[in-house]
Amino acid sequence: MKAKDALKKIGLLMQRIPSLRPKISHTSLIKGTMLFLIIVIASGIRLMPLRWGFYLNEFDPYFHYYVAKNIAENGLSYWFSWHDYAGWYPYGRNMPYVSNLGLTLTAVSLYKVLSFLGVPLNFGLTLNPLDPLSADPLYNLCVIFPIIMAALTCIVMYFLGRDLGGDSVGLFAALLLALDSSYISRTSLGWFDDETIGIFSTLSFALFFNRSIDAKKPIKYSVAYAAASGLALGYLCASWGAARYLVAIVAFFTFVLLLLKRYSQRLFISYAITFAIAFSIAANVPRVGFSFLFETFNLPVYGVLALLCIAEISRRTAVMSRKIIYTSIFIMLVASVYAFLVLKGFISPVGLKFLFALDPTQRAAHPLFESVAEHKPSSWATFYYNFGIGVLFVPIGIFFAALMATNLSVFIIIYCLTSIYFASSMIRLNILAAPAVSLLWALALKRILTPLILNLKETSQSLGRRVKFKPIGKDLIGGLLILMFMLFTLTYVFGTDFVLGPKAQGPRVLLHADTPTTLSGASLSVKPTSTVSDWIETLIWMRENLPPSPLEPPPPGAKPGEVGTIVASWWDYGYWITVVANKTTLADNGTINTTQIQQIGKMFMSNETEAIKILEKYLVTHVVVYVTFSKDGYDAPGYGGDNGKWRWMALIPGLNDTLFGNYTLGWDWVDHNRNYQVDSGETTSNNLGQNTVLYKLMTYGKEMTLYGYSTIKLEYFEKARFSQKEGQPNPAPGTSIVPLVCVYRVKYPVESTNSTTT
C-alpha cells in the first residue's frame, strides 16, 4: 500500500509539472528574441578585427592590462602603494594617481569569478603565436572585455529607451547603439579602455536616476533606485574622467526641473542620496581624490542642492515671513561655507583637458594637447559620417521629446544638446553623443512609423451620409516606408559617402568595425590585408634579447647600462615598450610629465653631440624610431611614422619647427612658379634639419632597407635591430607603404667597461 501511495503521489507531481513552467507571452518572446539578435549583431560586428590577430587595440589598453595584471597577482592593497619605475624613468609613476580603478578592478573581479567557475580563458598560442601575452588568461579576457560590455550596454539601452517611449523605442535604440560607428570604434575587439564601462555606467545612471524621481513609484523603490544611481555614478567617477560631464548635466537637469516647477520631496531625496554615494566613492579613489569634491566644475552640484533645500523649506513652511527668515539664514550659511572654502584654497581648478573641451580656443598654447589626434575638433561632416541619416532624425526626436515633456525626455534633450557640443569640440567625445543620438533617433522613428503603419490597417471611416474621412493613401504610406528603408540602406549598406561613386569607402559602421588593432596594423593609417608584424616582432625581440630593465630608481653616479635597459622613443610607443617588450621607457602615452616629453623632443631635434648629453642624463641605452616610406623611396609622413610627428617634437619643447624645414624635416620648399605645387628643383636641403638625430636615424634605417647601404654617418648610435631586411623593403600587405621600426644602441663617448648593453 505504501508503495502504491508513493507512486500515486509521484504521478500527481508529474501532472503538475506543466503548470510550473514559466508563462511567456508571444509579445515577450518576440521582444526577447529581438533583443538577443541585437546582442548577437553587436558582438559579431565587434569581433571583425579578429582576422588580424588577438591583440589589445591602440595604446592605453596595454597600460590598463598592465595595471590589472599587477592587481590580480599582488592584490588590491599592493595597488594603493605601488610606485612603478617601468615608465617615466628615473622618476617613475605613482600608479594609484595615474590609473583609474574602475576598469581594472572590474576586469580582475570578472577574471576571478570566471576562474573560480572553471571557465577556460586560455585560448592557446595557436590563435596568436607572435604575441607573448596571449598565454595569459587575464590578457585574453581583457581583449574580449569590450565586447562583453557592449552587449550589456545594449541591454541597458533597451530599458532606458523603453522608459522613454515604449518597447519599440528601446529595441530601436539598442540596435542603433549596437551599430553606431563611434561606439563601435571604442568597444571593438581589444579596446580595453575606460569608455567600455563609461557608457555602460552613464546609461545605468540615467535609467536609475530617472526611475528614482518617478512619482508613480513607491517611495521605497525611489530610495533604492537613488542608491543604485549613486553607485552607478560613483562607478563612473572611479572609471572615466568624463564623469565630470555627467555630474554637470545632472545638476543642470535638476535645475531645469526646478524652473519647470517640478520640485518634489522625491527629487530632493534622490538627488541627495545619489551624490552622497557617488562623491563618497569618488573621494576614496586616489586618482580622483578628495579634491574632486571641490573642483570648479562640481560646485554647481552644491548650488543646486542648496536650491533644493530652499524649495523644501518653502514647502514645509506655511507662513511667508518664516519662509523668508529660514531661507535667508540658509543662504547666509551656504555663502559663509563657500567663502571659507575659497579663502582656505579648497576650491581646485578643473584640469586642462576638461577646460579645453569646454573652450577649444585655449588649445593653441599647448602643443602637447594639440598633438593628439583624438583631441581634434569635429566637423559637421564628421557627424554625418558617424551618424548617417541620424543627423536628420535627431531634431525630429528632440521635437517629440519636447512634446512629451516627461522628466526622462527633458534629461535626454539636455544630454543630447550638451554632448553634441563637446563632441564638436573634441572628436574623441563623439562616443558621448552616441547614446543620446540613438535614443532620439529611435523616438523619432517610432513617432513617424506608428501612424503610418496604423493607417495601413484602417479603412475609410464615414462621418455622415455625405462626408467621409479617408486615411492617407496606402500607396503613399508604402512609398514613405520604402524611402525610410532606402535611407537606412544608404547608411548601413552603401555608406554615407555613396555619392563619391567608386571612391566611396562603404558604410562607416563596417569601416570602424573591420579595422585591425593598432599593433597588428603596425600603427599605419591605411588598412592592410593581413597582419603587419614589424612592431610585434621588434617588441618581442626587445623582450627576449635586451638586458632586463631596472625595477627601482638608479643609484647615485650610475652610468648608462649599469642599471639595465632604458629605452627612449617618442611617447606614442611607451605603453607597447613597457608592456609587450617589458622594457623601461622615458615616457608613455599618459603624458604625465610634460618636462620629460620636452626633453625627448629636444633630443630628437638636436645634433648628436647635444642629444647624447640628454640621453646620458637619463641613462638611456637604446633609442627607437619609426619611419614610413614607399617602396620607391619616397617618404610617407602621413601614414603613422615619426616622419609625420617631427613638428610636434619641435613645437612641444618650444622650438621653431620651420627652422628645421618648411616642407618637411630636412627640406625647404620655395614655390618659384607660384602654382602651389611642389615641382622639380623647388626643394632644397635644410642643414639644421638634416643634422638632427631624428632625421639621421630615420634616413639611415630607410636607406639601409632600400639599398643595403646609407649615406648617413652615425657617431653615437649603431643598429641593434631593424624590422626590415637590408636591401629588401617589404610593404605592408595590400599597401605600398613600408613600415620600418628601428632599434639603435647608444654609444657614449666614454663607455664603462662593465656595461651590460647589447
Whole-number Cα distances in Å, 619 to 58, 539, 567:
28, 20, 9
206 touches 411 (CB < 8 A): yes
- Residue 356: per-residue pLDDT: 65
Q: Map grid coordinates 605592408 to a residue.
A: 732
Sort residue 617 into left (φ over 0), alpha (ψ -120 to 50) or beta.
alpha
- Residue 747: per-residue pLDDT: 95
Within the chain, which residues score under 50 in pLDDT? 125-126, 460-465, 467-469, 752-758
Rounded distance between C-alpha atoms, residue 163 and residue 169, angstroms: 9
DSSP category for residue 189? T
- Residue 410: per-residue pLDDT: 96
117 touches 42 (CB < 8 A): no
> Which residues have a Cβ under 8 Å from the Cβ of 89 and sit 6 or more positions away?
550, 566, 584, 585, 586, 618, 619
Q: Can you give the C-alpha Rg of the chain in angstroms?
A: 30
Which of these CATH numbers, 3.30.530.20, 3.40.50.12610, 3.40.50.620, 3.40.640.10, describes 534-746?
3.40.50.12610
- Residue 27: per-residue pLDDT: 81
pTM above 0.85, yes or no: yes
**CB neighbour class for 123 (10 Å; exposed up to 12, middle 13-18, buried from 19):** middle
- Residue 728: per-residue pLDDT: 93
- Residue 160: per-residue pLDDT: 97
Whole-number Cα distances in Å, 261 to 264, 308, 696:
9, 12, 69
How many Å from the N-terminal Cα to the C-terminal Cα in the chain?
90
Q: What is the 3-state secondary structure (H, E, C) of 388-434?
A: CCHHHHHHHHHHHHHHHCCHHHHHHHHHHHHHHHHHHHCHHHHHHHH
Q: What percent of the chain has pLDDT over 90?
A: 57
Q: What's the pLDDT tens digit per position in 122-164?
A: 765 445 566 778 888 999 999 999 999 999 999 999 999 999 9
Rounded distance between C-alpha atoms, residue 67 and residue 79, angstroms: 8
> Which residues have a Cβ under 8 Å from the Cβ of 758 and sit 6 or more positions away?
545, 546, 547, 720, 745
- Residue 757: per-residue pLDDT: 45
- Residue 297: per-residue pLDDT: 80
- Residue 1: per-residue pLDDT: 53
- Residue 84: per-residue pLDDT: 95
- Residue 59: per-residue pLDDT: 92
**CB neighbour class for 562 (10 Å; exposed up to 12, middle 13-18, buried from 19):** middle
For residue 469, the Cα-to-chain-centroid distance in whole angstroms is: 54
Rounded distance between C-alpha atoms, residue 346 and residue 298, angstroms: 13
Rounded distance between C-alpha atoms, residue 606 and residue 624, angstroms: 16
Q: What's the pLDDT tens digit per position in 622-647?
A: 999 999 999 888 888 889 999 999 99
Rounded distance between C-alpha atoms, residue 392 and residue 490, angstroms: 14
Q: What's the pLDDT tens digit per position in 230-246?
A: 999 999 999 998 898 99
CATH 3.40.50.12610 domain range(s) in the chain: 534-746
Rounded distance between C-alpha atoms, residue 659 and residue 686, angstroms: 8
